């Protein structure tokens, strides 16, 4: 079993920055995907960013491209989401997610889908005030 623990959320003014972290523990895989999703009140959970372990290629939702950066620390089994230029519309609960092993072709098509990911963290609240 895999456990994911997010941290780093909080309250920030518009234009500010936050860094979220997601520490993974438990069973280890290769060729898996890691992603960040977010869910605002009354809205569906939406894709934010992702990458496939072992690849340098990252993917972002259009709404955060150029402002958010996903990165990892292999030795610590930790994934980060650096968020800058935050806007009130970025307010949401942010979730870290991890898949089981994926074929590259599947990942390249399905990385934005919630159904691609098998393990989820409990979420961390990000609130951006105007």
Q: Are 92 and 40 in contact (CB under 8 A)?
A: yes
d(CA 82, CA 77): 16
For residue 100, give the nearest of 114, 84, 118 by alpha carbon.
118
Yes or no: say if 16 and 128 are a contact pair by the CB < 8 Å rule. yes
Closest CA to 99 of 82, 77, 115, 123: 115
**In the prediction, which pLDDT does 79 show?**
94
pLDDT in the model for residue 45: 97
Question: How far is 34 from 94, CA to CA, in rounded Å?
Answer: 13
**Model pLDDT, residue 17:** 98
Q: Residue-wise pLDDT tens for the chain (130 aa)?
A: 899 999 999 999 999 999 999 999 987 778 899 999 999 999 999 999 999 888 888 999 999 999 999 999 887 789 999 999 999 999 999 999 999 998 888 888 999 999 999 999 999 999 999 9
């Amino acid at each position: 079993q895999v456990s994911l623990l997010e941290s780093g959320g909080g309250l920030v003014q518009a234009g500010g920055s936050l860094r979220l972290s997601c520490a993974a523990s438990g069973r280890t895989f290769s060729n898996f995907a890691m992603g960040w999703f977010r869910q605002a009140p009354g809205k569906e959970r939406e894709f934010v960013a992702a990458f496939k372990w072992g690849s340098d290629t990252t993917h972002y939702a259009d709404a955060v491209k150029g402002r958010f950066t996903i990165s990892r620390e292999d030795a610590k089994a930790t994934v980060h989401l650096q968020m800058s230029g935050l806007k009130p519309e970025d307010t949401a609960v942010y979730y870290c997610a991890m898949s089981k092993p994926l074929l590259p072709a599947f990942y390249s098509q399905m990385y934005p889908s919630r159904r691609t990911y098998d393990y989820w963290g409990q979420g961390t609240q990000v609130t951006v005030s105007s």
